Amino acid sequence: MPSRTVLALAPLLLLAIGVVAYALVDLARSPEPRWLPRWGWALICLFSIPLGAVAYLVVGRQQR
């Protein structure tokens, strides 16, 4: 892969990692999430980056 392509994709990779990290921290600090247990949401967030984190933030997060 050319170095220009890697440099162009680096911000997207950092954004994806940031969204997953935010979702995992929010999951750890929040009360019981909706639809799935906490460990289920954590696995979804980790194994389907970044869609799992977005799904948790949209669907699984309790309203505050």
Instruction: Give the pLDDT of residue 44.
Output: 96
CA gap 36, 34 in Å, rounded = 6
Stretches in the chain below the pLDDT threshold 50: none
Domain membership flag for residue 20 = no
Instruction: Give the pLDDT of residue 2.
Output: 77
Is 32 buried (19+), middle (13-18) or exposed (0-12) by CB count in 10 A? exposed
For the entire predicted model, the pTM comes to 0.84
Domain membership flag for residue 60 = yes
Instruction: Give the pLDDT of residue 20.
Output: 96
Task: Provide DSSP, 34-54.
Answer: SSS-HHHHHHHHHHSTTHHHH
Which residues span the domain enclosing 48? 33-64
Domain membership flag for residue 2 = no
Domain membership flag for residue 57 = yes
Number of domains in the chain: 1
Q: What is the dihedral of CA 60, 61, 62, 64, to 10 degrees?
A: -160
